[in-house]
Copies of this chain bind each other. A is one copy, B any other.
Amino acid sequence: MYRILLVEDEKNFGSVLKEYLKMNAFEVTLCENGEEGIKTFTAGKFDLCIIDIMMPKKDGFTLSAEIKAIQKDIPIIFLTARSMREDMVKGYKLGADDYIIKPFDSELLLLKIKAILNRHYNQVNENQFLYQIGQFTFNAKLRSLKDKQGHEVKLSPKEAELLNLLCQSINDVLLREIALKKIWKEETYFTGRSMDVYIVKLRKYLSADPSIEINNLHGNGYSLMVKV
């Protein structure tokens, strides 16, 4: 049960978001401005902050700086109005923080939250390297993909890393940016295109089993789905 500090001055929007997150098994504390936010943060324990940038009294960036001063590594997701200039937000992008533009798909926010929490806390079994994918068995250490007949294909390092990430979030979403940061260490046009090429390669390898699909979520990432 992760604890989220939500700081949002629009009352309606804030409480709707709070309810939505609670429905999805998060513990949420809602604050209506930056001052209240820093007080609440100091008093409690939180795993993640979601902060509106434009707020009266104390803006989101200032608040986040104060929070980081207390707990350096806490992940923060900024909420920004569409009108806000992208480069301004990016300029403030610190460390592993993220931002999301209002109005947004609540589903997307949930995905980001999960992905970020995962990245920060669930050092998800770096040890796990054996996966069953439909009729295939994938050994990430040896970079081998074997089908039921015992036919083996060797994957290249990048192929294996990508498939490994997909397996870690099997039947769920692997966000583009997360894959790029983890595998390519940077997120540019070219690394993005490179990743697309690898997706094609993985699809080819896995095409023997029709119950396996690597689906694209336009603008968000990919998901490795294995049907029943």
Contacts and interface: CB of A to CB of B under 8 A. Distances in A.
A125 B98 contact: yes
Nearest to A85: B171
Contacts of A101: 132
Nearest to A75: B127
Residue among A104, A108, A130, A169 with max Cβ neighbours from chain B (10 Å): A130
Contact of A157 (B111, B124, B220): B220
B130 A108 contact: yes
Nearest to A111: B130
Interface range for A: 35 or more
B132 A172 contact: no
A107 B137 contact: yes
Interface stretch (A56-64, A114-122, A178-186): A114-122
Q: Quick one: copies of this chain in the complex?
A: 2
Nearest to A138: B108
Nearest to A96: B127
A159 to B, nearest CB: 11
Interface stretch (A35-43, A44-52, A86-94): A86-94
B132 A105 contact: yes
Contacts of A98: 125, 127-128
A69 to B, nearest CB: 20
B125 A104 contact: no
Given A132-B104, A218-B156, A218-B157, A172 B142 contact: yes
Contacts of A122: 90, 94
Nearest to A95: B125
